């Protein structure tokens, strides 16, 4: 199975000036765990995750004052839609992260998470009755 079969095509893109609270609200409303951060000044893509926001708030930082740019991971590993799920899982395991931005051509076309991969590897027919994901 390939990344394109598992990835979410709902890609939230925010700017570096978004506050952590704004990012959290947008992510929460869409029920997603990561957002792509696009910085037009650097033409770069980064990622901010729920963990980044949680760490900042847990450290006592003000989510209304802290911006996404300060908490964005810019040293990003990107996946291709044609990667196998094994390649994606290996990249995540090696890098110690749970989300990969999927690039195809000029920009992001999806995000694949550990949860997406697990859903593909543990189909509904093998889950115990009544167990929801």
Query: Running along the chain, 133 residues long, what does each successive block of 10 average in pLDDT?
Result: 94 96 97 93 88 97 97 93 97 95 91 94 63 53
Nearest to 39 by CA among 13, 10, 65: 13
Q: Give the per-residue pLDDT at 28.
A: 97
Q: What is the structure's pLDDT at 47?
A: 96
Of the CA atoms within 13 Å of residue 79, those in its CB half-sphere come to: 31
The answer to whether the beta carbons of residues 32 and 39 sit under 8 Å apart is: no
Residue 40 contacts by C-beta under 8 Å, 6 or more apart in sequence?
15
Q: Is the dihedral of CA 103, 109, 111, 117 positive or negative?
A: negative
């Amino acid at each position: 199975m390939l990344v394109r079969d598992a990835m979410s095509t709902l890609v939230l893109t925010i700017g570096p000036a978004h506050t952590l609270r704004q990012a959290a609200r947008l992510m929460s409303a869409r029920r997603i765990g990561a957002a792509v951060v696009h910085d037009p000044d650097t033409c770069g893509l980064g990622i901010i995750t729920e963990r980044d926001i949680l760490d900042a708030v847990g450290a006592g930082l003000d989510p209304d004052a802290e911006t996404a740019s300060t908490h964005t991971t810019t040293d990003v590993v990107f996946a291709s839609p044609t990667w196998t799920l094994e390649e994606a899982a290996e990249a995540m395991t090696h890098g110690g992260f749970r989300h990969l931005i999927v690039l195809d051509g000029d920009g992001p076309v999806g995000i694949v998470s550990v949860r997406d991969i697990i859903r593909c590897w543990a189909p509904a027919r093998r889950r115990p009755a009544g167990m929801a994901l």
